[in-house]
Structure 1
């Protein structure tokens, strides 16, 4: 219905680590070259679990944006903004809450799971219960049709699709919808009108998915249709009403293969991370003191890379030649653990060097970062307002 638009965000939890880089940022850098991308700091989401430490959020926000820019997220290709600087997110969140069944929120898999994981915090709040709906508002307000998520987040996107369907079902049946749709068809011109009707009939009578896709492409190409007519024709095509909020699709991303220093998932809560802009001496020390296969007590003891956390780093950073060298050398005690760690140290330092170099420019010029974000917030506000005009109109809030 709309040109491909990607939306993704991160909660501001401070400086990012290599798990974020390999799990999210490298994917963003690829996506920004293929689609219209909007990347945002989810600072309101941070408050759903960290409402008792708000003093950290602002600094964490700026640190995180510098990490994005240093990693290669390009403000010339993507829009970077802060959630709370686009108040329309809150307005849509409020309006969607009017139609969201309570049971839908309570059934979101991560709701009880997170309460158990963060049992030291009081998460029996309205904000925490409602955060999946806020996520939905974040997506729907930009009519983003592609959202990169891991498998664990897929239920949140399905929830968003259900919300958009419910909204369109309740509010898409405008008075005189069919008459308005028929008038919009005539605006296509005689040849394209005939084709649209033929494709619509093939889809509705025979369930021809190819006809549906062809009709959608036909509408995407039309430059002379108003946004309202375009939405009506998309809805009429599928036998429904006007499409006001578009359903997003999952852009499934691979889980990060980046392990922590102890072999567990890299996470600040496990204290096993390497930061994205960490000092070189600190990185060398952390890798050199990593635990290895417990069987290798002495240099002459053979080991098994499968039982060593360092091997997980080799799977991310080393080529086949180095990995074969590690396998043979470890199992035969031909190399020591410090020798095995050196290629990992070299690879991480080489990866970090251009990132730290780019970061220096932004660290030395905070105004540059703020200008990039201000431009992004302005663009995001305009896109959000386009959606909100339609939402207010169908909800009876379009006052003169």
Structure 2
């Protein structure tokens, strides 16, 4: 795959935690459903990542994977529009992780912000392990093995994309300088034709001498349009443009996902650890009971007491699920005590159940046909392995591990 072509490829994974909740749907899955029709997408269950913290209690991981995958499919992620698979079924992830580990400075892993944060949050677990320290490297291998150009992440995960970029840059610096690289690059420029060659050279100068980022983007687009040079030459010119060697592992870009505005039942972020979730497969009765039990503005002790919607977790759900007219009705009715809290909760219950109904119907179909889920994941793993093998072939060749007899 060309570095320029990689910009059409997206990769993302999720740790298997079992059945998913509305926070997962609004924060991740809705975005994946959209992306799968715009890009070549690889979505995987990160079961090896689960082992970095749950290595002492792995017995739930398998069931969690199946439950999560059914929820992905129910939410609209498609095994035909995207490549869905289980991480451990594509061993190339592990091989690239190993090869990258040989040249990754230890200090790069220790400085990842989430490393110390997670150790603090998960104090009850023994995380003084090689696997936990190295999970950002495994995450980088997950991305780089597909030479993905885009990684959908929230703002709190940008550091993982940045270390992936640094690792790709370091690998290309160490192994991308093939013998006669500059001569081959200059020869490739001449193959572009006189006009395109001059434009490329001018853009390269503008970027390298003046740091003109727009010139870099224009040059990349120019390379993508070239029909009379090989993919290998494109890779050389892509690296030559930036002053490095041949690009073996393209640097991915973060595709920033809007922060999920899905609050939990207590007003905090929706999370299993807080026990404040509505799952995608909760029944109508379960949704109704959970919302009806939600706390409201503490000032409303009696039905006749006026309240303030801005201090009420239920109103946060209204902002996600109901329209402006309903918001106005809630504001007026709550502040004047014209409506009760149960009156206020009913439109939210109805809206959530309406959203979940088609997902739950699809979930039942997949629950009743586990072989269909296995087939989707088997075929997805095969497609993922094909793409990953291509990357590993180039990586081994660059390092010098492509042994030949004779």
Shorter-chain TM-score bucket reads over 0.9
Structure 1 counterpart of 2:376? 372
In the alignment, structure 1 residue 122 sits paired with structure 2 residue 112: no
Aligned to 2:331: 327
* Structure 1 residues 150-204: Cα deviation after superposition (integer angstroms, max 9, x where no partner): 1111111111111111111111111111122233334434554344334334434
Q: Which residue does 2:245 correspond to in 1?
A: 241
Show the counterpart of 2:367: 363
Q: CA deviation at 1:309?
A: 1.2
- CA distance 1:19–1:233, change in 2 (3 Å): same
Structure 2 portions without partners, runs of 5+: none
Matched, 1:142 2:130: no
Shift of 1:261: 0.8
Which of 215, 232, 237 does residue 211 from structure 1 map onto?
Answer: 215
Cα distance in 1 between the residues matched to 2:153 and 2:214: 27
- Given candidates 296, 315, 319, the residue that maps to 1:315 is 319
Q: Which residue of 2 aligns with 1:58?
A: 62
Supply the distance in 2 between the matched residues of 1:359 and 1:223 (Cα, whole angstroms): 46
Give 1:39 shift.
0.8
Q: Distance in 2 between matches of 1:138 and 1:158?
A: 14
Cα deviations by residue, 1:261-286 (Å, 9 ceiling, x for unpaired): 11111111111111011111111111
Offset, 1:208: 4.0
Aligned match of 1:338:
342
Match status 1:170 vs 2:177: no
Q: What is the match of residue 104 of structure 2? A: 100
SS in structure 2 of the partner of residue 47 of structure 1: helix
CA RMSD in angstroms comes to: 1.5
**How far apart are the structure 1 equivalents of 2:214 and 2:267?**
47
Residue 312 of structure 1 and its aligned partner are, at CA, apart by: 1.0
Among 161, 165, 169, which residue is 1:157 paired with? 161
Distance 1:252 1:357, change over 3 A: same
Measured in 1, the distance between the counterparts of 2:228 and 2:369 equals 44
Corresponding position of 1:196: 200
Distance 1:236 1:257, change over 3 A: same
Answer with 321-330 or 217-226: which moved more: 217-226
* 1:6 counterpart SS class: strand
In the superposition, the TM-score normalised over structure 1's length comes to 0.96
Residue 9 (structure 2) aligns with:
5
Shift of 1:377: 0.8
Q: Structure 2: how far apart are the matches of 1:203 and 1:297?
A: 65
Distance 1:225 1:59 in 2: 49
Are residues 1:113 and 2:107 paired?
A: no
Deviations 1:332-364 (A, max 9, x none): 110011100000000000000110111122111
**2: CA distance, partners of 1:154 / 1:205:** 28
Per the TM alignment, residue 117 of structure 1 is displaced from its structure 2 partner at its CA by: 0.4
- Structure 1 position 206, deviation (Å): 4.6
Equivalent of residue 31 in structure 2, options 27, 44, 47: 27
